[in-house]
Structure 1
Amino acid sequence: MDGALRPHAAQPDRIEAMLPSPCVQNHAANLCWLPDGTLACVWFGGTMEGMGDISVWISRLRPGADAWDPAERLTDRADRSEQNPVLFVAPGGDVWLFHTSQPGGRQDECEIHCRLSRDGGASFGPSRRVGDFKGIFVRQPPLIGPQGEWLLPGFRCVTPPQGRWTGSLDTAVMLVSRDNGATWSAAEVPDSLGAVHMNPVAPRNGLMPAFYRDRFSAQVRRSLSRDGGLHWTPPEPTDLPNNNSSVQAIRLADGRIALVGNPVNARMSDQRRASLYDEIEDEDTEVTAAAPATGGAIWGVPRAPLVLALSADDGATFPHIRPLEEGSGYCLTNNSKDGLNKEYSYPSILAGPDGALHIAYTYHRRAIKYVRLAPDAAPPAPAG
């Protein structure tokens, strides 16, 4: 994991690198263009998701560089697991880091924290809490609303009536700031049970789609906004399978949507685990399934293959698929120390000024892998 850019042996339009990190486990990457043209990647790393040594890290690929910089730790609170970082370049040029902070595997007790950089992402100020939210997680980057609002997608991690958090009762929410991040309110996405990791993309002809991970491991879901992201239709299934793992999408310059994820669902595999944190939860603590009406969140469906999917109808269908990684996708354990986990997951995708696609994702929970696809890697939309 030296960060060096190397051509792919079999794909001439592809360059890749393993980001440098001192951590045994590395997961949940997010990419962001910094004001000076540097490509930054943030993720969380430590021994295992949910543990107290999980912190947020950053690496930078500077303009013209042939390798990613050494990783730098941005958070270090020993009593909490700091996860799911996202970077946001505010309209004035300040760079914000948002991330979650939780005790152990208790996502229902998490807080959102932020740090502010006034030097273009070179350094960050002290950490502070975002609002007084409890149990709201983030994963996807913020966007700007129709009147300059800051919109931060999130999801509520809801505790069942009995037992610990399982994910079965989670719902989507949009956090809204009308004073440049000073204060925030929460707007619910209607009928969004099990729809998490809300990922809005840029609007076209007044229509803004958002895409969701499905806790019930069925299909990627989609909802629509016609007012710039303030109000949303209930999430509905697309034609892409989903394995209760993260997806991320962007609007390309030609209007199409490019989405990266694992097109696998529970109907395609019988692999199951009790919960995301079953390896670190107390043995005497019962993990209770959700109410029968929900069917319960499904964990453990393989997180492979990883593909790039393209849509020309605002994400209703994704007829074109390009594989990025193949493998077993084994994720019945989060163990990275012994090399047991084999997932390719939690992608992030950006387009460059030249149209190249930049993608980062979890590689066996041991590393964050970066892939650059040449501008013509996404074939043109068919005429008609």
Structure 2
Amino acid sequence: MMRLIGLVIGLFLMFDVQAQTPAWKKGILIDEFVYDTASFPQCHSATIAETPAGLITAFFGGTREANPDVEIYVSRMVNNKWTAPVSVADGKIDGTRKACYNPVLFQVPNGELLLFYKIGKNVGDWKAFVKRSKDNGITWSEREPMKDGFLGPVKNKPVMLSNGKIISPASLEGSPGWRVHFEISDDTAKTWRKVGPINTGTDYTIIQPSILVHKDGKLQMLARSKQRALITSWSHDNGETWTKVEPSGLPNNNSGTDAVTLKNGRHLLVYNHVRPHDSLKNGKGARTPLNVAVSKDGKKWYASLILEDSPISQYSYPSVIQSADGMVHVVYTWRREKIKYVKIDPSQLTTKKIKDGAWPKFKGYKARVAGEITADPIN
């Protein structure tokens, strides 16, 4: 009898907790920082991958973005806890020390774990490098320079197609404008060739693309822009050619996004659902809130989660993957002070259609007023 009463009470408490979870938070299983304290005051541009031994994340940290002391740090999930950040790459190059930027992790199926990153005084000075790990990120090889003219993935992960082709989403900055291109490997990341740029830099100014893989074999690109819109393009031949770039129907605040195609064919996007005021230079808006949307076709998107919403800005540069067990994992910058990790069960997500680019109303949720939001200090 007591066992039955206990079971009833347990079920009641479970349903009560579920009832109290707001719709825009349903599906979130874990919401935590990767670390509490570190030797560096600022961090940014996280990336995440699943190795045979579990999850691993990397990011850059130092006194401030672009300072010479900025290095690449790695944390691994061990026994359901993140290890303390460990530096795996610094910017010592050509007799000087420069900043490290934008690490991207990629686990080659049945192969090595790759870490792409950049070194330079600024974006125009970038040189691209890659390191390899054969023990799931515990130790790393010496850095290898990318071939001249190649940058590797600039922010978001490469994708491997069913035919074994690896497509790395890349982009260029500077004259004549921001342009997206792709770097393709036909030999499991040993050598690379280039496709694009797919835009002129004078039509739409776009960088930092992510790639979605549709059931019919089509590929879709989503990219950051200065035009206050997330820009898209499509490929019907495994990434060799791309359609004319155009607005996707979703807003963009001139900040990085990331997306992933789930095992069930749906697509999941993590981004700041923010359309900056037309008066703001280069379409640069606040990096809050941080949102999750889902789609079946990459055209009609449905609002699902709000990961962060605060007048304190800088929830940005997300990285998202789906692990072998079906769970979705997101890491992102939290106020430039820490890296946040969120685990999501995609089967629990609720959705509301996004109409005319406007985030829909959720019961109990009130969007921030623009005047409340702090300014973003850095790109």
> Normalising to structure 2: TM-score of the pair?
0.78
Deviation at 1:60, TM superposition (A): 0.9
Give the aligned partner of residue 215 of structure 2: 204
Residues in 2 aligned to 1:324 and 1:181: alpha-carbon distance in whole angstroms: 33
Residues in 2 aligned to 1:154 and 1:89: alpha-carbon distance in whole angstroms: 18
1:185 aligned partner, one-letter code = R
Give the aligned partner of residue 83 of structure 1: 101
Residues in 1 aligned to 2:299 and 2:291: alpha-carbon distance in whole angstroms: 17
Would the aligned equivalents of 2:105 and 2:157 in 1 still touch at CA under 8 Å? yes
Where does structure 1 lack aligned partners over 5 or more consecutive residues?
1-6, 161-168, 273-296, 330-341
Choose 145-154 or 355-364, whichever is displaced more.
145-154
Deviation at 1:232, TM superposition (A): 1.5
Deviation at 1:316, TM superposition (A): 1.3
2:221 aligned partner, one-letter code = A
Deviation at 1:348, TM superposition (A): 1.1
Percent identical among aligned pairs is: 27
CA gap of 1:113–1:254, structure 2 versus 1, over 3 A, is: same
1:214 aligned partner, one-letter code = S
Residues in 2 aligned to 1:56 and 1:211: alpha-carbon distance in whole angstroms: 26
Would the aligned equivalents of 2:47 and 2:57 in 1 still touch at CA under 8 Å? yes
1:111 is aligned to 2:94: no
Would the aligned equivalents of 2:153 and 2:168 in 1 still touch at CA under 8 Å? no
Give the aligned partner of residue 48 of structure 2: 31
1:320 is aligned to 2:303: yes
1:95 is aligned to 2:95: no
Give the aligned partner of residue 222 of structure 1: 232
1:221 aligned partner, one-letter code = I
CA gap of 1:144–1:137, structure 2 versus 1, over 3 A, is: closer
Would the aligned equivalents of 2:42 and 2:64 in 1 still touch at CA under 8 Å? yes
1:351 is aligned to 2:367: no
Flag the structure with larger Rg. Answer: 2
For residues 161-206 of structure 1, what are the alpha-carbon distances to aligned partners after superposition, in whole Å with 9 as ceiling and x for unaligned? xxxxxxxx11001112334434322211422531211111223112
Residues in 1 aligned to 2:200 and 2:305: alpha-carbon distance in whole angstroms: 29
The residue correspondences of 1:202-281 to structure 2 (distance < 5 A) are 202-216=213-227, 218-267=228-277
Query: For 1:73, which of 79, 87, 90 is the aligned residue?
Result: 87
For residues 113-154 of structure 1, what are the alpha-carbon distances to aligned partners after superposition, in whole Å with 9 as ceiling and x for unaligned? 001112232211001111112778711111224653332111
Would the aligned equivalents of 2:73 and 2:88 in 1 still touch at CA under 8 Å? yes
Give the aligned partner of residue 138 of structure 2: 122
Would the aligned equivalents of 1:14 and 1:374 in 2 still touch at CA under 8 Å? yes
Would the aligned equivalents of 1:356 and 1:374 in 2 still touch at CA under 8 Å? yes
CA gap of 1:136–1:354, structure 2 versus 1, over 3 A, is: closer
Residues in 2 aligned to 1:236 and 1:318: alpha-carbon distance in whole angstroms: 16
For residues 245-286 of structure 1, what are the alpha-carbon distances to aligned partners after superposition, in whole Å with 9 as ceiling and x for unaligned? 011111122221110000112227x565xxxxxxxxxxxxxx
Would the aligned equivalents of 1:93 and 1:120 in 2 still touch at CA under 8 Å? no
2:158 aligned partner, one-letter code = P
Give the 3-state SS of the residue equivalent to 1:266 in structure 2: coil
Residues in 1 aligned to 2:192 and 2:265: alpha-carbon distance in whole angstroms: 31
Residues in 2 aligned to 1:351 and 1:155: alpha-carbon distance in whole angstroms: 24
Residues in 2 aligned to 1:364 and 1:378: alpha-carbon distance in whole angstroms: 26
Give the 3-state SS of the residue equivalent to 2:277 in structure 1: helix
Would the aligned equivalents of 2:152 and 2:183 in 1 still touch at CA under 8 Å? no
Residues in 1 aligned to 2:74 and 2:123: alpha-carbon distance in whole angstroms: 23
2:44 aligned partner, one-letter code = H
Residues in 1 aligned to 2:101 and 2:178: alpha-carbon distance in whole angstroms: 17
1:309 is aligned to 2:293: yes
1:152 is aligned to 2:160: no
Would the aligned equivalents of 1:203 and 1:228 in 2 still touch at CA under 8 Å? no
Residues in 2 aligned to 1:225 and 1:303: alpha-carbon distance in whole angstroms: 30
CA RMSD of aligned residues (A): 2.5
Give the aligned partner of residue 185 of structure 1: 193
Would the aligned equivalents of 2:47 and 2:319 in 1 still touch at CA under 8 Å? yes
Residues in 2 aligned to 1:131 and 1:43: alpha-carbon distance in whole angstroms: 23
Choose 182-191 or 235-244, whichever is displaced more.
182-191
2:286 aligned partner, one-letter code = P
Where does structure 2 lack aligned partners over 5 or more consecutive residues?
1-16, 354-379
> Normalising to structure 1: TM-score of the pair?
0.77
Deviation at 1:75, TM superposition (A): 0.7
Residues in 2 aligned to 1:109 and 1:344: alpha-carbon distance in whole angstroms: 26
Would the aligned equivalents of 2:105 and 2:113 in 1 still touch at CA under 8 Å? yes
Deviation at 1:381, TM superposition (A): 10
Which structure: greater helix fraction?
2
Deviation at 1:375, TM superposition (A): 4.1
